[in-house]
């Protein structure tokens, strides 16, 4: 087995673990840890797919996960900045998981 096959297996196990944590309520999809885990897992899987050969479906799937997770993290950072600066609207503070951060 090639090194990147082991890397892909490790990333797959991370994805399964993330799904299990999400399913059991251990982590929440609106917290920053969730997109960070998705971003990490997808990046590793994408790198492995690119190195191991052309796997178009996996490359498309992992690229989509990376874009979605990165956009989610960027949005959360913007919401958090608004909350910290006091510029948050009522809808931002009620829907933003970042607003729950203790100051």
Domain ranges of the chain: 3-100
Is residue 40 a contact partner of residue 12, using CB atoms and an 8 Å limit? Answer: no
In this predicted model, what pLDDT tens digit does every residue of 57-103 receive, in sequence order? 777 888 888 888 888 888 888 888 888 888 766 554 444 444 443 33
Cβ partners under 8 Å of residue 32, min gap 6: 73, 76, 97, 98
The arithmetic mean of pLDDT across residues 44-59, rounded, is 77
Is residue 18 a contact partner of residue 38, using CB atoms and an 8 Å limit? Answer: yes
How far separated are the first and last CA of the chain, in Å rounded?
49
In this predicted model, what pLDDT tens digit does every residue of 8-30 receive, in sequence order? 788 888 888 888 888 888 888 87
Size of the chain in residues? 103
**If you compute the radius of gyration of the chain from its CA atoms, what whole number of angstroms results?**
16
Tell me the whole-structure pTM to 2 decimals.
0.56
- Which phi and psi (to 5°) does residue 25 adopt? 80, 10
């Amino acid at each position: 087995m090639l090194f990147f096959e082991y890397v892909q297996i490790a990333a797959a196990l991370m994805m399964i673990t993330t799904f299990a944590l999400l399913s059991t309520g251990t982590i929440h999809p609106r917290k920053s840890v969730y997109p960070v885990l998705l971003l990490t897992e997808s990046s590793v899987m994408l790198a492995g797919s690119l190195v191991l050969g052309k796997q178009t479906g996996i490359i498309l799937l992992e690229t989509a996960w990376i874009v979605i997770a990165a956009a989610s993290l960027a949005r959360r950072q913007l919401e958090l900045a608004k909350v910290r600066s006091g510029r948050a609207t009522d809808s931002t503070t009620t829907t933003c998981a970042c607003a729950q951060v203790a100051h």
